Amino acid sequence: MTATEYKAGSNLEKILSTGTFVVTGECGPPKSADGSVIEEKAKLLKGYVDAVNITDNQTGVVRVCSMASGYTAQQNGVEAIMQMTCRDRNRLAMQADILGAATLGIKNILCLTGDHMSFGNHPEAKGVHDLDAINLIKMYKDMRDEKKFQCGDEMSVAPQLYIGCAENPFADPFELRALRLKKKIEAGADFMQTQCIFNLPKFKQWMEEVRALGLHQEIKILAGITPIKAAGMANYMRKFVPGMDVPQEIVDRIAAQEKGAAQQAEGKKLAVEMIKELAEVEGVAGVHIMAVEWEVAVPEIVEAAGLMPRPAVA
């Protein structure tokens, strides 16, 4: 594939196009104007992931914006996947921000609806939700491919974007989950990342539906992995985090170890086992490792999963 054939020419797009199993990570920006946090997280992940998601006011909590943080990550050697939620911006802001991100060299964008304000630290905020994630994907695709704003006006230089989306195979109604991915593909998504997978049989069942619809040939699917740091965290996710499906056996397996280092080691071991198993699933193009405030665990997991070295991209 020549450079001109790429949609954005990001590392992520190039590596996915070669068929190499991709590894992406995740960075949460800080809740203050301390830019060094992203710098440090980027340095930690550099060389171990092909690109890193920069969250956008995750769980509705205000943090350094994903554009500035994404820029900082790229300055520190890690390609950014800038997250963009529909909760905080209307269509004007979402278009302005993507143009701004493009001028800063950000090429990967992940289009999300966003967690509801009621979960975050500003529950009294007005939710924008001018567009939904599917509208957002389509808007960015049209900006990239048609050089058109959402209103139809034309632009002289289009942003070169590799457009991502998320999907939760564990949300209900189950029979809609693969079909909703299809809608996102039709809207223009190039890659997708799943919600954290703990229930492998259910994920495999979802992938069967995805393959039956031929969707794995139309979009690059990255399977979401979250290493468990402690049994308490697993239990919390099982009971309280909406959309999470954590089987009791997983909680029990971690809880069987002594609190602290032993549980952490078991959590990493479990993550490695899951990555190896996911790599065998037809249609899975890579893993997306979401080590929430545990970025330091990522290099070890990637190494142990046999995914090093990461490919160099021209």
Partner 1 sequence: MITAERKPLDEILELVGDKKKVLVAGCDTCVAICLSGGEKEAEILASELRIMAEQDGRAVEVEHTAAIRQCEWEYLDMIAEKIEAADVVLSMACGIGIQSLAEKFAPKLVMPAVNTNMLGMPQEHAVWLERCGACGECVIGETAGICPVVRCSKSLMNGPCGGSHDGKCEVTTPEKEDIDCAWALIWERLKAQGREELMFVNRPPKNWSKSSSGGPRKMVREEAKPV
Binding site for partner 1 (CB under 8 A): 116-118, 123-127
Q: Which residue, 57, 53, 127, 130, is CA-closest to 95?
A: 130
**In the complex, minimum distance from the CB of residue 60 to partner 1, in angstroms, rounded to a whole number:** 11
**In the complex, minimum distance from the CB of residue 28 to partner 1, in angstroms, rounded to a whole number:** 24
Q: Which residue, 314, 285, 219, is CA-closest to 21?
A: 285
CB 157 within 8 A of CB 210: no
Q: Which two tokens stand for residue 232?
A: 């308490």
**In the complex, minimum distance from the CB of residue 126 to partner 1, in angstroms, rounded to a whole number:** 4
Q: Which two tokens stand for residue 309?
A: 């070295």
How far apart (Å, rounded) are the C-alpha atoms in residues 241 and 215? 28
Nearer Cβ to partner 1, position 123 or 311?
A: 123
Nearer Cβ to partner 1, position 124 or 280?
A: 124
Q: To 10 degrees, what angle do helices 248-255 and 261-279 make?
A: 140
DSSP letter, residue 7: S
**In the complex, minimum distance from the CB of residue 136 to partner 1, in angstroms, rounded to a whole number:** 19
Nearer Cβ to partner 1, position 127 or 311?
A: 127
Q: Which two tokens stand for residue 128?
A: 């924008």
Instruction: Tell me the Ramachandran region of residue 114: left when phi exceeds 0, alpha when psi lies from -120 to 50, beta otherwise.
Output: left
DSSP letter, residue 167: E
CB contact set of 193 (below 8 Å; sequence gap of 6+):
24, 53, 110, 164, 165, 166, 222, 224, 288
**In the complex, minimum distance from the CB of residue 29 to partner 1, in angstroms, rounded to a whole number:** 23
How far apart (Å, rounded) are the C-alpha atoms in residues 248 and 272? 19
Nearer Cβ to partner 1, position 201 or 242?
A: 242
Nearer Cβ to partner 1, position 125 or 241?
A: 125
Nearer Cβ to partner 1, position 17 or 118?
A: 118
**In the complex, minimum distance from the CB of residue 120 to partner 1, in angstroms, rounded to a whole number:** 11
**In the complex, minimum distance from the CB of residue 32 to partner 1, in angstroms, rounded to a whole number:** 21
Nearer Cβ to partner 1, position 126 or 309?
A: 126
Q: Is 110 helix (H, G, I), strand (E, B) or coil?
A: strand
H/E stretch holding 79? none
